[in-house]
């Protein structure tokens, strides 16, 4: 459904991306931020699903500065390789590339952002630091607790799994305490990555509910 595109960040760096949906028929746009596995089939599928909901969706390849067109699956060996990309994350660079994606879809209407894993943290940071957004949704972003002193400038919704071994519930409670204006949902029994049907941790019931909540949130705020 979508196509590969090229984006240009504010520092002149050119990165790839995947874009789905038609500007002429859109009710807005949503930037989709990847997990540590690149703009892979899961992220492209998220874009396609959003396009089917009437949005223009764009996923910037935020690892292109390290390895162009990196994509990965979810086997233990692939996970180990992918983790190397975030051993020392360059948050400013990833946010520059995220801003490039926001700017690239602004003509399609109000712009939201959704991110998963690493992308969930970036989506939250984008809500506090970037321009051109109207709403932000983050799924199981492990670094959000470190950014929680920063107040989002737009309505923000977050999703966490109760059994996520990488994000203790104490972190989620800290986020709730520091940011009472943010919608925070915790899914009983769900693990990290529960929203990805290509992962062993996929939880269909939690994923479906989180997706419904995300679409309703965008429907309310992207007007």
Q: Which two tokens stand for residue 205?
A: 């019931």
Contact status, residue 83 vs residue 36, Cβ threshold 8 Å: yes
Residue 27's CB: how many other CB atoms inside 10 A? 16
Length of the chain: 223
Active-site residue list = 117, 164, 192
Instruction: Output the 3-class SS for the chain.
Output: CCEEEEEECCCCCEEEEEEECCHHHCCCEEEEECCCCECCHHHHHHHHHHHHCCCEEEEECCCCCCCCCCECCCCHHHHHHHHHHHCCCCHHHHHHHHHHHHHHHHHHCCEEEEEECHHHHHHHHHHHHCCCCCEEEEECCCCHHHHCCCCCCCCEEEEEECCCCCCCHHHHHHHHHHCCCCEEEEECCCCCCCCCCCCCCCCHHHHHHHHHHHHHHHHHHCC
């Amino acid at each position: 459904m979508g196509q590969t595109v090229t984006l240009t960040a504010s520092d002149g760096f050119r990165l790839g991306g995947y874009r789905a949906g038609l500007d002429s028929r859109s009710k807005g746009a949503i930037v989709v931020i990847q997990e540590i596995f690149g703009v892979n089939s899961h992220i492209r599928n998220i874009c396609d699903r959003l396009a089917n909901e009437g949005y223009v969706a764009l996923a910037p390849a935020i690892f292109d500065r390290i390895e162009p067109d990196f994509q990965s699956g979810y086997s233990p060996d692939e996970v180990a390789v992918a983790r190397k990309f975030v051993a020392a994350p360059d948050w400013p660079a990833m946010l520059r590339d995220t801003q490039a994606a926001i700017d690239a879809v602004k003509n399609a209407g109000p712009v939201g952002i959704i991110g998963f894993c690493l992308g969930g943290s970036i989506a939250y940071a984008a809500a506090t630091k970037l321009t051109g957004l109207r709403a932000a949704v983050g799924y199981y972003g492990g670094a959000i607790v470190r950014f929680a002193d920063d107040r989002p400038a737009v309505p923000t919704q977050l999703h966490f799994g109760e059994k996520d071994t990488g994000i203790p519930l104490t972190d989620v409670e800290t986020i709730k305490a520091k940011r009472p204006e943010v919608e925070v949902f915790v899914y009983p029994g769900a693990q990290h990555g529960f929203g990805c049907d290509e992962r062993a941790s996929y939880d269909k019931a939690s994923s479906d509910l989180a997706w419904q909540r995300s679409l309703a949130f965008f429907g309310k705020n992207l007007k």
